[in-house]
Amino acid sequence: MTDPTMCVSRRDFARFSLAASAAMLVGGKTARAAAPTGEPIRIGVLHSLSGTMAISETTLKDVILMLVDLQNKKGGVGGRPLEAVVVDPASNWPLYTEKARQLLAVDKVAAVFGCWTSVSRKAVLPVFEELNGILFYPVQYEGQECSRNVFYMGAAPNQQAIPAVDYLLGEDGGSARRFALIGTDYVYPRTTNQILQAYLKQKGIADADVMVSYMPFGQSDWQTTVSQIKAFGSAGKKTAVISTINGDANVPFYKELGAQGIAATDIPVMAFSVGEEELAGMDTKPLVGQLAAWNYFESIDTPANKAFINAWHTFTKSPKRVTNDPMEAHYIGFNLWVQAVEKTGTTDHDKVIAAMVGLKQPNLTGGIAEVLPNHHITKPVYIGEIQDDGQFNVVWQTPQEIPAQAWSPYVPETRNLTGDWRAPISCGNYDTAKKACLGTRHA
């Protein structure tokens, strides 16, 4: 359980902690550290810089390079400089596997920061478990996984998808009673929608009031699907779309919504994979009022976020570059890894993994991220409305950080499962009813 004293007092947190956080983000100007020396510590950057996912992942490579630069200006880690090894898996899932093996076996990196889609994470997971590597995964995902070798910095379903549905069901979200679940055809949308269908049924939504549709990566023609959504929404019940569309397919999807005259006041779209970076390439005027659920928005006004944005603009030499939720997740994960290495005095994977649980890191929105025994973290949840400038206006938020559930309590097969990588359990797939580890680390 998360400590309630660290969750609710954002004003106190700002008063006592964020000044130090802001100083860190701009390179520690208050106390200039000695330049790091010795053999560099290598970290891997495993993000697609080409292909359909480049629209989302390129900026994540850039933010890791910024964090490495800032850390080196602070004296490195343990007095040693950091060196980023960047590879491009090119939105090709088998290539992710090959590049992960290269980073761990050839480049001998101390940790890897990477992946976006769950299919890419699933592709590399056996490599990280075989070679005992460490992956920091920065994107919201479907849960139903708990590996010793992965630290999940993005949201689990109970930290994004479930609160988003609760918002749409409630009066503030329009009291929706029909849901179109529209996604890209791969593991994240399918598993998330399996959870959401079970949850909606529990909430009294009939099967006939749930529409499910999947399209391939890079889909450019959304005319038929949007027409189906429009027809589905004409049944006399308030209808909402849950979008798990990933990558550059979002651009033509939203264009088609505008072309068919579907406004947020008619059929709101709640997106789980559209943030500031994706909106930067769109005409957002027809999208005003459409929704997204994340754990961070660039528009959130805190000293730490302002410092992060300023550091980003300085590093990229572009005041127009936006920030987004997965960038904050990388910021949190990177600083937690630095903490663990400095705490243990080594980059040894086993020692760093063991040291991670219980570490805390200020996030950028005024709270604290804590690493849980299931290798996930505590996170706040925000619902934002798209504005015509491509930013989000926060319309709802949780009062405190939410501890992640690796396994969904709404799916019968995983209802009794939990993850706990501390001794004596040391299991990511522990059945609390049978009091036994089921022997696998992930579904």
Domain 4-156+300-381 has CATH 3.40.50.720: no
Task: Please enumerate in sequence order all residues whose Cβ is within 8 A of that of 346, keeping only pairs 6 or more positions apart, or say none.
Answer: 352
Name the more confident of 284 and 225: 225
pLDDT greater than 70 at residue 308: yes
pTM, to two decimals: 0.90
Mind listing the pLDDT tens digit for each residue in 90-148? 999 999 999 999 999 999 999 999 999 999 999 999 999 999 999 999 999 999 999 99
Considering the chain, tell me which residue range(s) the CATH 3.40.50.2300 domain(s) occupy. Answer: 4-156+300-381, 159-294
Mind listing the pLDDT tens digit for each residue in 42-88? 999 999 999 999 999 999 999 999 999 999 999 999 999 999 999 99
pLDDT value of position 32: 61
**Alpha-carbon dihedral angle through residues 292, 296, 302, 304, given to the nearest 10 degrees:** -160
Q: What percent of the chain is modeled with pLDDT above 70? A: 92
Q: How many CB atoms lie within 10 A of CB 307?
A: 19
Side chain identity, residue 347 = T
Q: How many CB atoms lie within 10 A of CB 397?
A: 16
Mind listing the pLDDT tens digit for each residue in 2-35? 333 233 333 343 333 444 444 456 334 434 678 8
Task: Please enumerate in sequence order all residues whose Cβ is within 8 A of that of 33, keeping only pairs 6 or more positions apart, or say none.
Answer: 73, 74, 75
Mind listing the pLDDT tens digit for each residue in 272-297? 999 998 898 788 888 999 999 999 99
Average pLDDT over residues 418-435: 96
Assign domain 159-294 one CATH number from 3.40.50.720, 3.40.50.2300, 3.40.50.150, 3.60.9.10: 3.40.50.2300
pLDDT greater than 50 at residue 1: no
Average pLDDT over residues 291-307: 98
Please state at what angle helix 93-101 crosses helix 118-131, rounded to 10 degrees.
30
The span from the CA of 170 to the CA of 188, in Å, is 25
Closest of 290, 292, 294, 243 to residue 267, by C-alpha: 290
Q: Tell me what the pLDDT averaged over the chain comes to.
A: 92
Mind listing the pLDDT tens digit for each residue in 367-412? 999 999 999 999 999 999 999 999 999 999 999 999 999 999 999 9
Task: Please enumerate in sequence order all residues whose Cβ is within 8 A of that of 77, keeping only pairs 6 or more positions apart, or say none.
Answer: 36, 41, 71, 338, 341, 342
Average pLDDT over residues 348-371: 98
pLDDT value of position 25: 60
pLDDT greater than 90 at residue 356: yes
- DSSP element (H, E) containing 229: helix 223-232
pLDDT tier at 440, thresholds 50, 70, 90: low
CB 287 within 8 A of CB 379: no
The span from the CA of 208 to the CA of 236, in Å, is 13
Q: What are the start-end ranges of the E strands in 301-400?
A: 360-362, 368-370, 382-386, 392-397
* Three-point CA angle 426, 432, 435, nearest 5°: 70
The span from the CA of 16 to the CA of 31, in Å, is 18
* SS3 category, 136: strand
Mind listing the pLDDT tens digit for each residue in 316-350? 999 999 999 999 999 999 999 999 999 999 999 99
